[in-house]
Amino acid sequence: MSTLLPPGVHAPGDPAVPASARRRARHRPPLTRAGIFGVGAALPDGVVTNRDLERALETTDDWIVRRTGIRERRRLAEGELLAPLATEACRRALADAGRTAGEVDQVLVSTVTPDRVTPGLAPDVALRLGAPQASAVDVNAACAGFVYALDHAAALVESGRAEVVLVCGAEALSRITDHDERSTAVLFGDGAGAVVLAADDGLRVGCGSFVLGADGASADLLYADLDERKLRMQGQEVYRHAVRRMVESTSEALARSGMTAAEIDLFVAHQANRRIIHAAAAELGLDPARVVVNVDRVANTSSASIPLALAQAQEDGVLRPGATVALAAFGAGFVWGAGVVGFKERPHAGD
């Protein structure tokens, strides 16, 4: 293919172009940066504890806590919609950022469990928020969906196509959980979290150093198919890949941002399993004090888990304005991603 191009010009992916050069070409520093200026979360009222599950399944609180760190999860009631929960998370994120729904250019909702096959959740969330001017779209990248959506949102802001983007992860995994199968029934929960991303020229870290990946060959290790609509997983295999991919992508995101692990204030990874999170953190050289874990309270909420963990960390006083945060996620696909982001680097975007 490159023979059709002028001498010295190579097609994308041409092996004549060294990988490092290709990467540099694809990552020009943006003129405007995107920053996270607010975070919000919303959980359903229904709580399902490990003790509740002991009564329904051949499992124990001790097994679940030891193998996963999970103590309880939230569940939407039968027939309850996810869109109001996602909208509440977005409202709280906007309030936290001191912004209004009328300022939002796009609503990006990451979900694998929308209220209908189509339309997606995002248009409904925009409507409920009172943001008729906003474009709205769903992203499906399983448990890595929030990181993917954040990268897309940052690209919109950095390119000048948008000023303010709401990025929400909202999941009702109870809808696609086999509640009779103990190896997965104990793992999943419902919830929604959101962040406000906005343009600002004065940010140091911003939201630009994302590394995303995909490997469709591993789809059969974690999936829910159209007929059955239940999550099926080969847990140990997924565990192994999750640690490896999150470590690799976080290391690369750190390198891309020109930082070392020592400069990271907090590590907020997808909350699938406490052991996975701590194993990845240890490999990255991050001590447990800098690792956010809330899987004990909400279980695995797929793409809602990172914004839920960010909101929890802020509420606990662990995530403070000006923090540099490493995000990492892994999920069905396989898909994975990591990024280094600045949290509330300035009190208000554009100040």
Instruction: Please identify which residue in 17, 32, 46, 63 interacts with ligand UT7, judged by CB under 6 A.
Output: 63
Minimum Å gap between C-beta 235 and ligand UT7 is: 3
Which range binds ligand UT7 by CB under 6 A, 35-43, 62-70, 166-174, 287-295? 62-70
Query: Packing angle between helix 305-315 and helix 145-158, nearest 10 degrees?
Result: 80
Minimum Å gap between C-beta 53 and ligand UT7 is: 8
Minimum Å gap between C-beta 273 and ligand UT7 is: 4
- Looking at 270, 273, 278, 294, which residue is catalytic? 270
Nearer residue to ligand UT7 within complex by CB, 2 or 59: 59
Would residue 143 show up in a list of annotated catalytic residues for this protein?
yes
Instruction: Please identify which residue in 146, 330, 336, 343 interacts with ligand UT7, judged by CB under 6 A.
Output: 330
Using CB under 6 A as the binding rule, whether residue 293 contacts ligand UT7 is answered as no
Instruction: Please identify which residue in 3, 20, 236, 289 interacts with ligand UT7, judged by CB under 6 A.
Output: 236
* Alpha-carbon span 244 to 258, nearest angstrom: 21
Q: Of 162-201, which residues contact ligand UT7 (CB under 6 A)?
A: 182-183, 186
**CA distance between the termini of the chain:** 48
**R_g over Cα of the chain:** 20
Using CB under 6 A as the binding rule, whether residue 309 contacts ligand UT7 is answered as no
Would residue 168 show up in a list of annotated catalytic residues for this protein?
no
Nearer residue to ligand UT7 within complex by CB, 146 or 330: 330
Using CB under 6 A as the binding rule, whether residue 242 contacts ligand UT7 is answered as yes
Q: Which of 148, 143, 213 is nearest to 176 (CA)?
A: 143
- Looking at 90, 143, 168, 207, which residue is catalytic? 143
Using CB under 6 A as the binding rule, whether residue 272 contacts ligand UT7 is answered as yes
Would residue 273 show up in a list of annotated catalytic residues for this protein?
no
Residue with tokens 């949290």: 343
Which range binds ligand UT7 by CB under 6 A, 16-24, 235-243, 255-263, 280-288? 235-243
Q: Which residues contact 7 (CB under 8 A, 6 or more apart)?
A: none
Using CB under 6 A as the binding rule, whether residue 59 contacts ligand UT7 is answered as yes
Using CB under 6 A as the binding rule, whether residue 256 contacts ligand UT7 is answered as no
Instruction: Please identify which residue in 223, 235, 265, 282 interacts with ligand UT7, judged by CB under 6 A.
Output: 235
* Alpha-carbon span 159 to 152, nearest angstrom: 11
Q: What is the DSSP string of 109-141?
A: EE-SS-SSSSS-HHHHHHHHHT-TTSEEEEE--
Nearer residue to ligand UT7 within complex by CB, 70 or 104: 70
Cβ pair 310, 120 in contact under 8 A: no
Type of residue found at 165: V
Structure tokens given for 255: 């390198």
Outline where the chain has alpha helix (H): 19-26, 50-56, 61-68, 83-97, 121-129, 145-158, 182-185, 235-257, 274-284, 295-298, 305-315
Three-class SS state of 348: coil
Q: Which of 171, 159, 30, 144 is nearest to 106 (CA)?
A: 159
Instruction: Please identify which residue in 36, 276, 327, 341 interacts with ligand UT7, judged by CB under 6 A.
Output: 276
Using CB under 6 A as the binding rule, whether residue 240 contacts ligand UT7 is answered as no
Which residues lie near ligand UT7 (CB under 6 A)?
59, 63, 67-68, 143, 182-183, 186, 235-236, 238-239, 242, 272-273, 276, 300, 330-331
Give catalytic residues, as residue numbers: 143, 270, 300
